[in-house]
């Protein structure tokens, strides 16, 4: 099972952002960021904004133009990708508007741009204040040659009227988890997910804190994005929680030495990731002295 997300993927040895004009610092006009495509200007208005820029000088503000359900459009950008590879998308969103929410996702496409599938959408939370990081990851299909990065403004219900704005800034897309290492969320406190000791030989303690009661899932993934150990799934109350880590997979076998990713999700769009270096303890055999 690929890492869900909100978004996860292979850890690259070095992070290289594949998105052009990722910080929206360059604009061809007040309504056209360089390197980005306006999906539908009749449905969504895009504007250069300096009021809510996370990194100076600008962010991209998106405003819904049509009433009712659907009509959710925004900005897109095509990026060349390799097939059967894990990719991670992250984008910062400013959303304090109760009428709308921001969303980040990936469309996988063939070399002729024909649609294959979508990664699913990670949405912003209008109840949070300030900038929040939206993250999504997925593995590219076997026939994929292009990833279409999508940053859209979404309505909240069928009766949502036109209007309502969010801002995007500092987009990251790569075959690496560094883009999504931490995702602040409402239920899970990202900074509190820990595993100690790390590196570990298999005798470690996983700890995290919930700001409020939530249904959580705690899983371990390998570098291919496959789940190798399901550590917990169920409801937990607010507060501190601890789980043992034994260094064993689903079948109870010892994990191979290497890098893994510990992923905590709150059952919604918020997830937290920690890298885990597993180093199985070697058993030293004592030689019995031989007496002549």
Structural domain for 202, as ranges: 190-278
In contact, 226 and 2? CB cutoff 8 Å: yes
Residue partners of 86: CB distance under 8 A and separation at least 6: 2, 3, 8, 9, 10, 137, 138, 139, 140, 175, 224, 225
Mean pLDDT of 215-242: 81
Same domain for 153 and 56, yes or no, is yes
Domain contains 44 = yes
Same domain for 95 and 160, yes or no, is yes
| Listed residues 146, 180, 214: the one ending a domain | 180
Name the band, by pLDDT with cuts 50, 70 and 90, for residue 180: very low
Same domain for 87 and 226, yes or no, is no
Separation CA 64–CA 59 (nearest Å): 17
Same domain for 150 and 220, yes or no, is no
Same domain for 117 and 135, yes or no, is yes
Same domain for 174 and 75, yes or no, is yes
Same domain for 52 and 159, yes or no, is yes
Instruction: Provide the percentage of residues in the chain whose pLDDT is more than 70.
Output: 79
Instruction: State whether the Cα torsion 224-210-126-128 is positive or negative.
Output: negative
Domain contains 125 = yes
Domain contains 85 = yes
Report the candidate in 207, 198, 193, 221 with the shortest Cα–Cα distance to residue 11: 221
Question: Structural domain tally of the chain?
Answer: 2
Same domain for 94 and 131, yes or no, is yes
State residue 178's pLDDT score.
Answer: 42
| pLDDT tens digit sequence for 4-56 | 333 333 333 334 688 899 999 999 999 999 999 999 999 999 999 998 899 88
Same domain for 157 and 215, yes or no, is no
Name the band, by pLDDT with cuts 50, 70 and 90, for residue 264: confident
């Amino acid at each position: 099972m690929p890492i869900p997300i909100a978004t996860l993927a292979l850890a690259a040895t070095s992070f290289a952002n594949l998105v052009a004009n990722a910080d929206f610092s360059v604009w061809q006009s007040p309504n056209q960021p360089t390197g980005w495509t306006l999906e539908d200007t009749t449905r969504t208005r895009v504007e250069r904004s300096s009021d809510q820029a996370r990194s100076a000088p600008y962010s991209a503000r998106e405003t819904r133009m049509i009433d009712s359900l659907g009509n959710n459009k925004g900005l897109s950008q095509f990026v060349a990708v390799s097939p059967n590879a894990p990719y991670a998308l992250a984008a910062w969103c400013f959303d304090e508007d109760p009428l709308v929410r921001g969303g980040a996702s990936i469309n996988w496409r063939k070399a002729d741009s024909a649609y294959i599938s979508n990664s699913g959408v990670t949405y912003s939370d209008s109840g949070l204040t300030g900038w929040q990081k939206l993250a999504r990851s997925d593995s590219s299909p076997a026939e994929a040659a292009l990833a279409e990065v999508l940053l859209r403004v979404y309505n909240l219900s069928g009766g949502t009227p036109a209007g309502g704005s969010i801002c995007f800034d500092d987009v990251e897309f790569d075959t690496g988890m560094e883009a999504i290492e931490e995702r602040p969320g409402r239920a899970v406190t990202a900074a509190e997910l820990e595993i100690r000791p790390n590196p570990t030989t298999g005798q470690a303690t996983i700890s995290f804190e919930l700001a409020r009661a939530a249904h959580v899932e705690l899983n371990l993934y390998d570098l291919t994005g496959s789940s190798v150990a399901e550590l917990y799934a169920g409801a937990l109350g607010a507060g501190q929680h601890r789980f043992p880590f034994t260094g064993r997979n689903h079948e109870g076998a010892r994990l191979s030495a290497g890098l893994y990713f510990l992923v905590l999700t709150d059952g919604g769009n918020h997830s937290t990731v920690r890298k885990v270096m597993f180093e199985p303890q070697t058993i030293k055999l004592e030689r019995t002295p031989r007496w002549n």
